[in-house]
Amino acid sequence: MRTSIGTFILIIVASIAASTIVISSQADAYPAEFSASVSLSGYERTLVAINGTIVTAHVADTEEKRRQGLSGTNTLSPQEGMLFVFPKDDHHSFWMKDMTYPIDIIWFSAKKQIVDIAYTVSPETYPESFSPQTNARYALEVPAGFSSSHNLSIGDIASW
């Protein structure tokens, strides 16, 4: 009887340890060099890869999150951004309301191919809006100069 209880306890401890390992590996999916400087509660994060560069992106996948965007934040680290996920392809527009720093805006097709880029869009452009030349499903906001410094161009493919 004692052997059965001991074996049962060992199985439970092993199961808890395995769960802890899985949780730890998910947390390690974001290495220190890709940590976020913007603190946005309620936003999931994903890693976006473009041309061998990784960006830690906060995911704006609801109307409320897309409306808020990066407005009211103070900065982005060099490898950080916000990924806007739209329910359908369209000419999704962006403006710089309540922004305090310039950004690049990169639009992607449903196949995650770059369809347009707005370079170094500054807060002073508000209330002007910026739209892609063609329909897009996603947009990625990154620090100003990111697109040029990483040689991004229309046709490049991203993954996330």
Which pLDDT value is given to residue 42?
86
The mean per-residue pLDDT over the stretch 134-159 comes to 98
Supply the DSSP symbol for 144. Answer: T
Instruction: Indicate whether this model's pTM tops 0.85.
Output: no
pLDDT above 50 for 8? no
